[in-house]
Homo-oligomer: A and B are copies of this chain.
Amino acid sequence: MSTRRATIADVARTAGVAPSTASVVFSGKTAVSDATRQRVLDAAAALGYTGPDPRAASLRRGRSGIVGVVVQGPLGTVFLDPVTRLMMDGIADGVAGLGAGLLLLRDDVRDHDAAREHALTTAPLDAAVLVGCNPRMRDSLATLRGRGIPVVVIEGDAGEGVPRIDLDNREAQQQMARHVRSLGHHRVAMVALPRDAARERGWLVPGDTITVDVTRDRLAGMREEFPDAGAFAAAASSIDEGLIAGRVLFADPATRPTAVLAQSDLLAAGVIRAAEEAGLRVPHDVSVTGFDGVNVDGLAPYELTTMAQPAADKGRAAGHAVVAMLEGRDAASFRFTCTFHPGNTTAPA
């Protein structure tokens, strides 16, 4: 059809006003007489002009209205985790005031050079949130900061000058461990989140380096109360992984733990299934605790004894931090606290 979309200049011309006036009609930055406004609007309608081109506006304003969310791994698996989902919602909420959209960026090992670098260096971001920062994320962080883009990190080691949103993982897990100990348990084991990017399943041994902060901190919290407890790392946070780990823990009736502390609710749900499978009743024969406080779909009638974390609030805080930085204020780091949620999955030893 038409060879070219109408521009605001075209609209202004047919309306018989100056481009700047037409611009103001759309942006609302200055008062315009009703008559003029109407003429501009009519002209726009006639030409099929639907509003300023965001690209041009963005160049001129120096803002794109886009906040990047950098996650690791395929988008599909990212959203497997209920905590991440909640955080995303929180972030969306937190930046809502900007009218900004969330651009999903993946920081993946594959296509290390090509696509990743591409999007990260090339996307028109006003700011970015890094989720679950691990060593690999450091590169992304560097790239972003190099571009002068304000960054907020959620649960990760960010380095100097980067606002971070944190959780009292260690203290919370310790609190849970204390609860379990107060019930009289001594033979306890932990089912841990992945230890590093390789995500290998298996027992954690003392010398291991654990590069995932969350895993390390929750483990440390548990060890505060049970220094000698074994910990089995899962390959992911899922019910199926919890089931696999649980089978390992319950394999030998002679040495099986009387309480299992899982580092996530999903893992805990899997451990419960493993217990059922092994003919153990929860919490009668074995106590199981979770972490996160999310609703595990399909777990009813169990209600997990867990440490509830304010996942959405974390996201929201990150969003607010982003807004603050964009407005020139400086954003403080913030540390959230988990709360103990008693359920029906723990009982005296």
Residues of A within 8 A of B (CB): 5, 48, 50-51, 53-56, 58-59, 62, 64-66, 68, 74-77, 79-80, 82, 85-86, 88-89, 92, 96, 99-106, 111, 114-115, 118-119, 121-125, 143, 146-148, 238-240, 243, 266, 269-270, 273, 295, 297-298, 300, 312
Protomer copies: 2
Interfacial chain B residues near A105, Cβ < 8 Å: 101
* Contact (A121, B50) CB under 8 Å given A101-B105, A297-B238: yes
**Nearest chain B CB to A112's CB is how many angstroms away?**
14
Asked if B54 and A239 sit within 8 Å, CB to CB, the answer is no
CB contacts (< 8 Å) of A66 on chain B: these are 66, 103, 123-124
User: Are B85 and A298 in touch, CB under 8 angstroms?
Assistant: no
| New contact pairs (13) apart from A54-B123, A55-B59, CB-CB < 8 Å | A50-B146, A55-B58, A58-B124, A68-B101, A77-B85, A92-B104, A96-B115, A101-B119, A101-B123, A103-B104, A239-B297, A239-B298, A269-B298
Contact of A103 among B48, B102, B270, B298 (CB under 8 A): B102
Q: How far is the CA of A5 from the CA of B146 in the complex (A)?
A: 11
Assembled-state Cα–Cα distance A204/B115 (Å):
47
Q: Kindly provide the distance from the CB of A234 to the nearest chain B CB, expressed in whole angstroms.
A: 12
12 A-B Cβ contacts within 8 A?
A: A51-B121, A54-B122, A54-B123, A55-B62, A75-B89, A76-B85, A79-B88, A80-B85, A96-B111, A99-B122, A101-B119, A104-B104
Rounded to whole angstroms, the CA-CA distance of A103 and B148 in the bound complex is 21
Do the beta carbons of A75 and B102 come within 8 Å of each other? Answer: yes
Q: Find out whether the CB atom of A92 lies under 8 angstroms from the CB atom of B106.
A: yes
Are A103 and B106 neighbours in the complex by a CB distance under 8 Å? no
CB contact under 8 A between A240 and B102, given known A75-B89, A76-B88: no
For A50, A77, A312, which residue has the most chain B Cβ atoms within 10 angstroms?
A50
- Chain B's closest residue to A51 (CB) is B121
The docked-state distance in angstroms from the alpha carbon of A103 to that of B119 is 12
**A124 x B54 contact (CB < 8 A):** yes
Cβ–Cβ < 8 Å partners of A123 in chain B: 54, 65-66, 101
Chain B: minimal CB distance from A17 (Å): 22
Residues of B within 8 A of A122 (CB): 51, 54, 65, 99
Neighbouring B residues of A86 by C-beta, 8 Å: 76
Q: Smallest CB–CB gap between A259 and chain B, Å?
A: 21
Select from chain B the residue with minimum beta-carbon distance to A104: B102
Residues of B within 8 A of A99 (CB): 114-115, 118-119, 122
